[in-house]
C-alpha cells in the first residue's frame, strides 16, 4: 500500500528544513494535501564508557540547552547528516565534536522516524564503545555539559521524566533492551 504524489510545491526553504505542500492520492483513493517538513536526516550515538557486558555500564550523556524545549535537557550525542555523509561517520563526528570522545567501535543499532505524521526525518542510531577522551569542538549555538552516568541511573531518569528527548529515550531503551543483559 502506497500513496501517489500528484503534485508538490515548496512553501518554505531554510538553512536546515524545507516545507512542501504535497497533493497525494492516499491508498484508499482519497485526494489530500499534506504539509511535509523535509529534513536531511541525522545520526545519534549511545557512548558506553565501560564494556557493554559490565554490571552497570557508564553512559556518556549531554545536558544541552535547547531553545525549543525552553532550557537544558538530557540527550545523547547527535547531529544532522551533511550532504552525502555516511550516518556512521556523522555519529563519530558528533561524538567527537560534542564530547571530545573518540570511539574504536561504532555499531548501527536501528533507524527511526522522529515524527512520520509531518516529517521525513530519520535518525540512524549507533552504539559506540572503546571510548577515549579528547577536547570537544562545540558549535556557537551549542551549550553542552557532558556527564557519565550508570545506565541504571539513566533508565531511572527516563522513567521519572528527567530525560524527555525522544531519540535519546528510544536509543537508550534499545541499548538496554536489546544489546545488554541487565
d(CA 88, CA 42): 10
126 shares a domain with 110: yes
Condensed to tens digits (0 to 9), the pLDDT of residues 88-124 reads 999 999 999 999 999 999 999 999 999 999 999 999 9
Catalytic residue among 35, 142, 156, 162: 142
Tell me, rounded to whole angstroms, the distance of Cα 24 from its chain centroid.
29
Domain interval for residue 22: 4-38
Average pLDDT, the chain: 93
* The three cell numbers locating residue 178: 536489546
Q: Determine whether 33 is an active site residue.
A: no
Supply the pLDDT for residue 36. 97
69 shares a domain with 33: no
pLDDT band at 182 (very low <50, low <70, confident <90, very high): very low
Contact 133, 101 (CB under 8 A): yes
Contact 165, 79 (CB under 8 A): no
- Give the residue from 102, 107, 88 showing the smallest Cα distance to 41: 88
pLDDT band at 143 (very low <50, low <70, confident <90, very high): confident
CATH number of domain containing 145: 3.90.79.10
pTM attached to this predicted model: 0.92
Lowest mean pLDDT among 17-21, 51-55, 156-160: 51-55
Contact 129, 45 (CB under 8 A): no
Share of the chain above pLDDT 70, in %: 98
74 shares a domain with 29: no
Supply the pLDDT for residue 20. 97
66 shares a domain with 118: yes
Amino acid at each position: 500500500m502506497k500513496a501517489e504524489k500528484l503534485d508538490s510545491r515548496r512553501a518554505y526553504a531554510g538553512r536546515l528544513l524545507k516545507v512542501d505542500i504535497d497533493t497525494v492520492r492516499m491508498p484508499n483513493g482519497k485526494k489530500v494535501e499534506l504539509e511535509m517538513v523535509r529534513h536531511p536526516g541525522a545520526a545519534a550515538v549511545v557512548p558506553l564508557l565501560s564494556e557493554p557486558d559490565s554490571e552497570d555500564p557508564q553512559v556518556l550523556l549531554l545536558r544541552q540547552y535547547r531553545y525549543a524545549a525552553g532550557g537544558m535537557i538530557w540527550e545523547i550525542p547527535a547531529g544532522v547528516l551533511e550532504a552525502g555523509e555516511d550516518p556512521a561517520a556523522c555519529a563519530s563526528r558528533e561524538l567527537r565534536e560534542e564530547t571530545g570522545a573518540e570511539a574504536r567501535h561504532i555499531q548501527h543499532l536501528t533507524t527511526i522516524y522522529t515524527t512520520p505524521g509531518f516529517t521525513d526525518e530519520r535518525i540512524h542510531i549507533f552504539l559506540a564503545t572503546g571510548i577515549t577522551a579528547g577536547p570537544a569542538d562545540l558549535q556557537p549555538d551549542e551549550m553542552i555539559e557532558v556527564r557519565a552516568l550508570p545506565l541504571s541511573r539513566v533508565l531511572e531518569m527516563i522513567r521519572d521524566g528527567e530525560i524527555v528527548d525522544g531519540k535519546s529515550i528510544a536509543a537508550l531503551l534499545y541499548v538496554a533492551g536489546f544489546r545488554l543483559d541487565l
